[in-house]
């Protein structure tokens, strides 16, 4: 009896994760056929698994790129035209802006290919293939293999596999671990480095609602920008050259011109960055009780000081805009995450789950030997980490956070080379050239006055909050030379450091000596902070982390063994994933219902000319008043945003939201306030992906900005022809009203009927 009650309890508390809902999970495209396809078809998918992912023939995956290493983009024309978010292109847009030609503020549209703007340092990665290499990586490794030996073998084998896949530099390749080190996959990409800015709406559209609306629904942000990928004339990745030609993707996404409806199938294909959904309660506790409050406090101060500078000078606004946006984005994120974890009582839930795990592990001698101490080891690791965690956070969010210090830190490799002596002239020259390049970008966005203030204030907070025994030696200067005056200390460093001036830094680079670098006050400061971190903090953290790595691996292996019928998905790790669900509204609070879409009417209602976050361009208001939405409106309305219950996170920004026929419905650009816990725990009730409607994107490009030639490049699936089904061989499209999709044979394919019967058959197969 007891046992029965117990197992019922157990089921009850794990009920959520056991009946994994369709909307939860970031799945590996390679495994969609085996794990998800039947479920997806039930929800409205009409594509075959091969049309989604196939390494030999064109498939959806060929239209998706990792953008700049931090976002997602998708091809929408056979000439390499790429869509991503405005906030993903933000840095490229701000870097191409000057106070005289402020494209961040005013927008920009290339009317010819020659006007497209190059972007140093920007690249896109296109997946060639992925492969499960767990067998090769883990061969011969047993639970008895000593941990150090295991780590070494895994690293060596992963590197060897990646090196072989690179094929002498033809590809970018790496092995990533999944399920906390229990599985390994190899990823092979082509990297294209000639990525040009084709167009962007004005910031008042691309970042409409600013920080007030950030992470919120209902939303009216036109968060998109347009790029084009170029390749060499012989079809290979190449650095920028006038001779380069537009990349020809194996597939580009056709665009749905129909209004979507609640319940419509939606999948998001992209590169989610990082989640830690298997994290134990003790880890969550450290995040919400210790790490997040400090991050919030430090960022709040930094942002306030940056804002002062930005408000005082338009030139400084441009210099700091990109940095400010990313700091504030995660400032708000940490606040939301903490609120959500409290509301969801996640720590209590984790405790119950972990108790059940422990009982399961202890119930059998073999299991006890393997998994019995996993949770205790995890908890001990976090308890130890807590003693050093503040040092680590203050290092990155305070000491190395000011622009000058982050920059000075970059000189560490040069320092190491000079310090080692016997300098190889050619290598030194190469390094110096790299610094010269880096300096161009750095000084273009450096604002010394606000940075100096930030340094003084953050160091005061560091001094008060970090345990004294873990302070860097350099704080002795503060107390002796500067008598505890943080402002004086800052003023001295900022006026004397060579790195604080472009001219002086370049003079130094013309003849770099160890002595000059060593005695530079900014470099001396970061050096002291880093040495202290490396000697007194990092060894401890490493020790706890190594124990944690092993314990987490066993915990996750145990959880999977404990629930053999549950299909687990791996945490996000910046690899290509697919999540699927439906278009769906939600109830944020008792008595309040959120609709699944927003319109131009709501955008106009938010207009506030006195608030920079809610200015609406006059021409947009004009088109709205006349309801001149062209072919992008329906029933006198223009859709702007919509929500789906897809499981996404940072890195998915710019991802296509694709309907059951493989057509683009919009771009994912944000998560919602009610489910900000998403990176740590999935909230099945509230989790939503916030997306910009593709018809608003096209309206802004075409009607508002007069860049209709770009829309003409795309493949529009007309409202009148909604049965057209995805076809990788899409070749040419005739515009002007009716749109036709031509196969090489020139026929329009209508496969709806056929697909329906196929679904039935496969569902039956799966049941048996
Ligand atoms: N919250 C968005 C994301 O991380 C980024 C939004 C950028 N906008 C801003 N106001 N900071 O996906």
Burial of 499 from C-beta contacts in 10 A (0-12 / 13-18 / 19+): buried
Q: Given this model, what pLDDT does residue 763 score?
A: 34
Ligand 1 atom, smallest distance to 669 CA = 12
Q: Per residue in 231-251, pLDDT tens?
A: 999 999 999 999 999 999 999
CB 251 less than 6 A from any atom of ligand 1: no
- Per DSSP, the three-state class of 117 is strand
Q: Is the beta carbon of 327 within 6 A of some atom in ligand 1?
A: no
Single out the catalytic residue among 87, 220, 251, 252: 87
Let me know: does 731 contact 6? Beta carbons within 8 Å: no
**Does any ligand 1 atom lie closer than 6 A to the CB of residue 215?**
yes
Q: From ligand 1's centre to the CA of 577, what distance in Å?
A: 20
| 3-class DSSP state of 114 | helix
Decide whether any atom of ligand 1 lies within 6 Å of the 162 Cβ.
Answer: no
Q: Is the pLDDT of residue 755 over 50?
A: no
> Which is the closest atom of ligand 1 to the Cα of 90?
7
Say what the pLDDT of residue 23 is: 83
Q: What is the mean pLDDT of residues 249-269?
A: 96
- Whether 653 is catalytic: yes
Catalytic residue among 62, 223, 451, 670: 223
State the pLDDT at residue 719: 66
What Rg, from alpha-carbon coordinates, does the chain have?
Answer: 27
pLDDT digits 0-9 by tens, 711-735: 999 999 976 555 554 544 443 333 2
Cβ–ligand 1 contact at 90 (below 6 Å):
no
Name 129's bridge partners: 188
pLDDT tens digits for 296-342?
A: 999 999 999 999 999 999 999 999 998 999 899 999 999 999 999 99
Q: Residue 283, SS3?
A: helix
User: Measured at the alpha carbon of residue 228, what is the angle toward residues 238 and 616, in degrees to the nearest 5?
Assistant: 145
- The ligand 1 atom at the shortest distance from the C-alpha of residue 670 is 12
Determine how many CB atoms are found less than 10 A away from the CB of residue 112.
7
| Residue 5 clears pLDDT 90, i.e. is over it | no
Ligand 1 pocket test, candidate residues 84, 204, 205, 669, most atoms within 8 A of CB: 669
223 is known as an active-site residue:
yes
Distance (Å) from CA 323 to ligand 1 centroid: 12
- Where b means 16+ CB within 10 Å and e means fewer, 701-740 reads bbbbbebeebbebbbbbbeebeebbbbbebeebeeeeebb
> With a 6 A CB cut-off, is 532 part of the ligand 1 pocket?
no
Distance 72 CA to ligand 1 centre (A): 14
87 catalytic residue (yes or no)? yes
> Residue 624 in contact with residue 607, Cβ under 8 Å?
no
Mean pLDDT of 471-477: 93
> Is the CB of 219 within 6 Å of ligand 1?
no
Q: Is the pTM above the cut of 0.85?
A: yes
User: What is the pLDDT confidence band of residue 768, given thresholds at 50, 70 and 90?
Assistant: very low
Confidence (pLDDT) at 451: 98
pLDDT at 721: 59
678 lines ligand 1 (CB under 6 A): no
CA 214 to ligand 1 centroid distance, Å: 6
Q: What is the mean pLDDT of residues 689-694?
A: 98
CA angle 396, 398, 400 (to 5 degrees): 55
Q: Is the distance from the beta carbon of residue 703 to the nearest atom of ligand 1 less than 6 Å?
A: no
**Atom of ligand 1 at shortest range from CA of 328:** 11
């Amino acid at each position: 009896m007891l046992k029965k009650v117990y197992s019922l309890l157990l089921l009850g508390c794990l009920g959520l994760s056991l009946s994994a809902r369709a909307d939860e999970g970031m799945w590996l495209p390679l495994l969609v056929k085996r794990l998800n396809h039947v479920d997806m078809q039930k929800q409205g998918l009409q594509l075959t698994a091969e049309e989604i992912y196939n390494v030999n023939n064109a498939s959806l995956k060929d239209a998706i790129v990792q953008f700049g290493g931090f976002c997602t983009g998708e091809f929408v024309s056979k000439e390499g035209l790429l869509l991503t978010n405005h906030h993903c292109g933000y840095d490229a847009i701000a870097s191409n802006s000057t106070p005289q030609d402020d494209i961040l503020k005013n927008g920009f549209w290339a009317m010819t290919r020659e006007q497209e703007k190059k972007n140093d340092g920007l690249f896109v990665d296109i997946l060639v293939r992925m492969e499960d290499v767990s067998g090769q990586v883990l061969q011969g490794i047993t639970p008895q293999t000593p941990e150090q030996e295991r780590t070494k073998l895994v690293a060596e084998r992963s590197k060897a596999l990646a090196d072989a896949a690179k094929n002498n530099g033809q590809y970018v390749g790496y092995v990533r671990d999944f399920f906390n080190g229990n599985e390994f996959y190899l990823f092979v990409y082509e990297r294209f480095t000639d990525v040009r800015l084709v167009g962007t709406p004005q910031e008042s559209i691309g970042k409409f609602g600013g920080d007030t609306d950030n992470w919120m629904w209902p939303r009216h942000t036109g968060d998109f920008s347009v790029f084009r990928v170029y390749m060499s004339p012989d079809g290979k990745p190449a650095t920028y050259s006038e001779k380069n030609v537009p990349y020809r993707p194996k597939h580009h996404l056709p665009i749905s011109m129909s209004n979507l409806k609640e319940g419509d199938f939606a999948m998001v294909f992209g590169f989610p960055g990082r989640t830690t959904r298997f994290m134990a309660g003790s880890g969550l506790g450290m995040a919400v009780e210790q790490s997040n409050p400090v991050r919030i406090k430090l960022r709040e101060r930094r942002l306030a000081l940056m804002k002062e500078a930005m408000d005082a000078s338009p030139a400084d606004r441009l210099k700091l805009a990109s940095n400010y946006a990313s700091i504030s984005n995660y400032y708000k994120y940490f606040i939301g995450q903490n609120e959500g974890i409290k509301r969801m009582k996640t720590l209590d839930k984790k405790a119950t789950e972990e108790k059940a795990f422990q009982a399961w592990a202890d119930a059998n001698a073999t299991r006890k030997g393997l998994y019995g101490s996993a949770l205790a080891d995890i908890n001990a690791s976090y308890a130890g980490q807590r003693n050093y965690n503040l040092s680590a956070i203050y290092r990155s969010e305070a000491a190395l956070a000011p622009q000058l210090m982050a920059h000075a830190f970059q000189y560490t490799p040069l320092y190491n080379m000079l310090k080692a002596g016997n300098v190889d002239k050619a290598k030194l020259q190469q390094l110096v050239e790299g610094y010269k390049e880096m300096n161009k970008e750095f000084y273009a966005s450096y604002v010394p006055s606000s940075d100096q203030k930030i340094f003084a204030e953050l160091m005061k907070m560091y001094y008060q909050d970090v345990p004294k025994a873990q302070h860097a030696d350099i704080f002795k200067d503060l107390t002796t030379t500067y008598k505890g005056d943080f402002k004086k200390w800052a003023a001295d460093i900022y006026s004397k450091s060579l790195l604080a001036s472009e001219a002086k830094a370049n003079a130094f680079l013309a003849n770099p000596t160890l002595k000059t670098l060593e005695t530079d006050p900014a470099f001396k400061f970061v050096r002291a902070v880093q040495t202290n971190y490396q000697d007194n903090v990092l060894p401890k953290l490493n020790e706890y982390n190594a124990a944690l790595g092993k314990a987490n691996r066993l915990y996750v292996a145990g959880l999977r063994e404990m629930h053999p019928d549950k299909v687990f998905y791996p945490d996000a790790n910046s690899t290509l994933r697919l999540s699927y669900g439906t278009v769906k509204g939600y109830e944020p609070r008792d008595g309040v219902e959120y609709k699944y879409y927003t319109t131009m009417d709501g955008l106009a209602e938010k207009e506030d000319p006195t608030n920079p976050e809610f200015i609406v361009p006059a021409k947009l208001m004009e088109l709205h008043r006349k309801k001149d939405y062209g072919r992008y409106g329906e029933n006198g309305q223009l859709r702007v945003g919509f929500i789906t219950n897809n499981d996404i996170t940072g890195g998915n920004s710019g991802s296509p939201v694709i309907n059951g026929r493989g057509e683009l419905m919009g771009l994912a650009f944000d998560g919602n306030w009610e489910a900000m816990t998403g990176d740590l725990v999935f909230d099945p009730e509230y989790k939503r992906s916030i997306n910009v409607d593709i018809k608003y994107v096209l309206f802004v490009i075409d009607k508002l900005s007069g860049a209709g030639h770009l829309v003409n490049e795309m493949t529009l699936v007309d409202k009148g022809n909604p049965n057209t089904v995805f076809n990788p061989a899409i070749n040419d499209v005739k515009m002007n009203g009716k749109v036709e999709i031509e196969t090489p044979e020139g026929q329009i394919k209508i496969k709806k009927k056929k697909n329906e019967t196929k679904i039935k058959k496969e569902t039956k197969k799966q049941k048996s």
